Structure 1
Amino acid sequence: MSTSSQAALLEVDLQPGKPPILHTRPAGDAVRWAAEHRMALRAVVAEHGSVLVRGLGLRDAAETVALFHQLARTGLMTEREAFASRRTYAEGVYSSSKWPPNQPMCMHHELSYRLEFPGLILFACLSAPTEGGATGVADSTAVLDALPGDLVERLEREGWMLVRNYNEEIGTSVAEAFGTEDRGAVESYCRANAIEFEWRPDGGLCTWQRRSAVVRHPVTGLRCWFNQIAFLNEWTLDPEVHEFLVDTYGAEGLPFTTRFGGGDPIGEDVVHLLNEVYEAETMREPWQAGDLMLVDNVRSAHSREPFTGPREVLVGMVDPVRLADCSPTVKVNAG
């Protein structure tokens, strides 16, 4: 059965400004329903880039872990190079990133700075906030089409660079990001993944890596805007937070920022432009407890809006994709 035929098996509600929504009331348990509808759900994601499943009534972490395993093809991925801490519920199942609830997490593609990243992101809401907190999605092909041609051309030619400074005071530690504190193991990982590095006299670590900003979808071949240029740039930070970090660590010591692939800074005007384009393409729907969301990580960027009240969203990353299989415009040499 073709992908479109599979997708037609499910009645998806399509409304402007909202992600595709599938309303369901499974006769049995949610895990069994997911197993029976796995291919049809994946077909909807292949067609639309994402889908929000409402009515499953997911209750707890154990049920969610079992459901994620049913939806995965080859198991759940272990996160490496994380930019923010997460709680681990089970191997490959995490909390959403620990980020101040009053600050937005702007649009990004999960782990798009890695040489291998998830092709599909699974989200499950166990506790919905009283206000805000939606996981927005944006079609990366539409974002690419809306950006100025000269900016896209430069980033296709140069790529983008992520610069990170690890320390024990702010952001993720070396151990959290790389899964080890052993310097030799960290250095081996960096060499194998085309990451330049330098140890600081105080024991901190600085890394920088160059990646493609535009790729082709590994299945459809569509050109997609695929990066974290805006989200991990210093100008996306709250102005007071940015000022504090620069005063404390210096302009070269920020936990993370992004640059053009040749090393030139990316200006505040460019970052604001990117976020404006993302906002124009954003689809959002408030979470309800028990919801499930599937997001094609290449076709769709995702975000997290500010919120109030308790919010518990579990995350699973599946279907590993190699950057080399996405027609990258910038070649990297992994040792």
Structure 2
Amino acid sequence: MTNLGPITLESGFPSIARPTGHTTPADLTNLGPAARSAIQELLDTTGAVSFRGFGIRTVDEFEAAAQSLLGRLAPYKGGDAPRRAEKGLIYNAAGPDKSRLLRAHNELSYAPWHPTTLCFGCARPADQGGATTLIDGHRVYSSLPHDIQDAFRTRGVTYIQHLPHTPTDPASGIKSWPETFETDVKDEVMRHCQANYTTATWTPLGLLTTHRTPATLDIGPAPRTTWFNQAHIWQDPTTTPDPTDMRLWQTRLGYGAIYGDGTPILATHLDTISATLEQCTIPVYWNSGDLLLVDNRAVMHGRTPYTGDRQVYVAFA
């Protein structure tokens, strides 16, 4: 345990930061250089830091704390989750259907850009459930069979999305392209996609894009390979038995994933990945006023089902 005046830091997964005495929300935004450096070092080392007892409850308090800890905040442009902005670049992190498990993922790992750090804050915990789950990406990669490691590391993943022109039933989990790219100006969206995605095409149904990305990353001063993809979420063999057939994608909306070389990802590999992610999952239970910093490159996150009016914010940088 490290004592840094206003806070104490304890290593672990996640690491824990606590105030040393009476504190106000403003105290977390006014940390000195030594405390900030120690927090960053702990985040770089362990991948996640949980701040407990700092009393960050309102969206204004969370915005100030997130800006202080993260610096310049980023928009959720290009994301597939149905997020609602609470204020500026502070989003609601409730996720879709609260009765369902939100599976492990790295934020925007499927997109041309991804945040390096996430900041979550809890204004009100769920009545039951609602833990944010953390999954160490290096532990996941190390736990997978060598053939799966090699396939994803050498081939990468190509993500496919066919987004409709207008919003669909929220239960479908498919966002429209204006919702996804936060504008309904087609020329603006196409310029963005042509500059950043592997392919982008207008269809009678909507916007069809593909994007090839690495599926693992080597991170840290002494680089370690970490799992960095969500192919297990985007590719469902029961609904897209042949996701490599781009002619069929012209006629169906939704999301899919294949290897970066254009070959299908084996259903047995996806099953093994899902089981490994479950084995590596650590739940973080919320109290009102808690914060959580997550290195998005090193650590995946998710959410358990819940009941009640859970209010958790998230910011990206």
Tell me the residue number matched to 2:290: 291
- Counterpart-to-counterpart distance in 1, 2:228 and 2:96: 22
Q: Which runs of 4+ in 1 moved over 6 A?
A: none
The alpha carbon displacement at 1:25 in A equals: 5.8
Cα distance, 1:165–1:127 mapped onto 2, change above 3 Å: same
The alpha carbon displacement at 1:43 in A equals: 2.1
Does the Cα contact within 8 Å between 1:121 and 1:296 map onto a contact in 2?
yes
Which of 43, 53, 56 in structure 2 is aligned with 1:55? 53
1:202-213 to structure 2, matched below 5 A, reads 202=205, 204-213=206-215
- Counterpart-to-counterpart distance in 2, 1:206 and 1:251: 11
TM-score by length of 2: 0.86
3-state SS in 2 of match to 1:215: strand
1:163 aligns with 2:165: no
1:19 aligns with 2:14: yes
Q: How many positions carry a matched residue from both structures?
A: 298
TM-score by length of 1: 0.82
Cα distance, 1:284–1:98 mapped onto 2, change above 3 Å: closer
- Counterpart-to-counterpart distance in 2, 1:312 and 1:220: 37
CA offset digits 1:136-168 (Å, max 9, x no partner)? 111111111111111121222211011111112
Partner amino acid for 1:196? T
Does the Cα contact within 8 Å between 1:82 and 1:176 map onto a contact in 2?
no
- Counterpart-to-counterpart distance in 1, 2:8 and 2:44: 13
1:173 aligns with 2:170: no
Tell me the residue number matched to 1:333: none
1:197 aligns with 2:197: no
Larger deviation, residues 100-109 vs 30-39 = 30-39
Cα distance, 1:269–1:140 mapped onto 2, change above 3 Å: same
CA offset digits 1:90-126 (Å, max 9, x no partner)? 2221111631111111111111123322111000011
Cα distance, 1:218–1:92 mapped onto 2, change above 3 Å: farther
- Counterpart-to-counterpart distance in 1, 2:96 and 2:21: 33
Which of 118, 124, 130 in structure 2 is aligned with 1:121? 118
Does the Cα contact within 8 Å between 2:160 and 2:256 map onto a contact in 1?
yes
Superposition CA RMSD, Å: 2.5
> Percent identity of the aligned residues?
26
1:86 aligns with 2:83: yes
Which of 232, 254, 275 in structure 1 is aligned with 2:234? 232
